[in-house]
Structure formats: structure tokens, C-alpha cells
């Protein structure tokens, strides 16, 4: 039940942003996700891609909006890490993270990845779930060159946004077949969110549960 409530809430937020604000809604939603607030791109971009199929958006403008939104949010997180430092970020997550499904061990994972792979992870992390959301903080904390960070972030985010938007386009192209069984537009949204956004949230909650059980031992 809790899982369904979260999924429905995120769905409503994404639908409102994109249908009300157009391309700017995509930029805003992706910026929120990349600023370490889990509004999954796995929901945002496929829905945007579906609207490309419906003729509402242009595919490449959608991809650019997604990439630019990621860059904006990532730069916010980068400068928070750079100016405030690791201890302040940890304190903030400990106090408020649970309310938006952000946990301290996720920051630990991002720091570990950044230390292990260096600046290259600023690019490759954009193609990885969960880590992509948090990698900007350790990049800022470590003082990575901001120009390199911005470049790698945008390129990786643009690729990720394009791939997810394409998923939404293909879903739309095959909707005539699926339409025999689903007749309402809301069913399309539910299908996308259940398959992609649902997996994202399930992964976060399952990982958090395993982490808590591990700490109890």
C-alpha cells in the first residue's frame, strides 16, 4: 500500500509538471531529480517520450530539456557539496532525508564510486540508477573541476534522457495493439510508471530494508 501511494504521488507530480509547463516542466522535473530529490527520470522521460509520439513534443527538444534539467540540478548539488562540505551534507540527510527517501548510505556509495573511478564517474554515473542522483555531491566535496563536471554531466545526462524518451516513443507506437485491452489515457501513464518508476522505488525501498537488517546484526 505504501509503495502504491508513493508511486501515485510521483505520477501525479510528473503529470502536472509536464502537462502544465511543457518543456520547462521536463527541465524542472529532471533538475529536481538531479538535485538529489528522488523524482525518477525513469518516470519523467518515458512519459515525455510518449507525448512525443502523441505529437505534443519534439523528440530532440525533449532530450535536450532532459539533459539540461539534469545539468541544472547537478550543479545545484555540486555547489552545495563544494560550499558546505561533507559533514553538513551528512547532517542534512540524517535529519530530513527519510522524508524524501534519501539515505546516508547512498551518499556513502556515491563517495565510494567517485573515489574509485575519479572524474570519469561524472559521465558514467548518469547511466546508472540511484548513484546518478547523488554523484554530484562528492564531485563538489572533492573540488572536481567545475567545467569538466558540467561537460561530463550534460553529455551523460543527454544520452540517458534520449534513451528513456525513446522508450516512451516506442510505447506509444505500440499502443494501438495494447489499446485493445486499455482504453483510457491514464492506463498508459500507469503502465509506464508501474514498469519504470515502480522498479526504481522498489529498488530504493528494498535496498533500504536490507541495509537496516544488516545494521541490526
Please state, as a whole number, how many other Cβ atoms lie within 10 Å of the Cβ of residue 35: 21
Backbone angles phi, psi at 38, to 5 degrees: -70, 80
C-alpha cell at 9: 504521488
- Rounded to whole angstroms, how far apart are CA atoms 153 and 52? 24
DSSP 45-80: HHHHHHHHHTTSS-HHHHHHHHHHHHHHHHHHHHHH
Q: Answer whether 144's CB lies under 8 Å from 74's CB.
A: no
Whole-number pLDDT of residue 40:
77
The listed range with the strongest mean pLDDT (33-42, 57-66, 204-213) is 57-66
Q: What is the pLDDT of residues 73-110, one digit of tens each?
A: 999 999 998 998 888 888 888 887 777 667 777 778 77
pLDDT confidence band for 70 (50 / 70 / 90): very high
**pLDDT beyond 50 at 167:** yes
| CA-CA-CA-CA torsion sign (159, 163, 164, 168) | positive
With a pLDDT cut of 90, the percent of the chain lying above it is: 30
Amino acid at each position: 500500500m505504501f509503495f502504491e501511494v508513493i508511486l501515485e504521488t510521483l505520477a501525479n507530480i510528473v503529470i502536472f509538471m509536464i502537462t502544465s509547463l511543457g518543456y520547462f516542466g521536463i527541465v524542472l522535473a529532471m533538475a529536481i531529480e538531479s538535485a538529489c530529490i528522488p523524482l525518477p527520470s525513469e518516470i519523467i522521460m518515458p512519459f515525455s517520450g510518449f507525448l512525443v509520439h502523441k505529437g505534443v513534443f519534439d523528440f530532440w527538444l525533449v532530450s535536450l530539456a532532459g539533459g539540461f534539467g539534469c545539468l541544472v540540478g547537478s550543479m545545484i548539488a555540486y555547489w552545495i557539496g563544494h560550499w558546505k562540505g561533507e559533514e553538513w551534507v551528512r547532517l542534512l540527510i540524517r535529519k530530513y532525508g527519510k522524508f524524501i527517501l534519501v539515505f546516508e548510505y547512498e551518499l556513502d556509495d556515491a563517495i565510494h564510486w567517485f573515489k574509485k573511478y575519479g572524474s570519469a564517474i561524472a559521465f558514467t554515473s548518469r547511466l546508472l540508477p540511484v548513484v546518478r542522483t547523488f554523484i554530484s555531491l562528492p564531485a563538489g566535496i572533492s573540488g572536481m573541476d567545475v567545467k569538466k563536471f558540467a561537460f561530463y554531466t550534460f553529455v551523460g545526462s543527454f544520452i540517458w534522457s534520449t534513451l528513456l524518451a525513446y522508450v516512451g516513443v516506442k510505447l506509444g507506437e505500440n499502443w494501438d495493439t495494447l489499446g485493445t485491452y486499455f482504453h483510457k489515457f491514464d492506463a498508459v501513464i500507469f503502465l509506464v510508471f508501474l514498469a519504470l518508476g515502480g522498479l526504481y522505488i522498489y529498488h530504493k525501498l528494498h535496498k533500504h530494508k536490507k541495509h537496516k537488517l544488516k545494521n541490526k546484526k
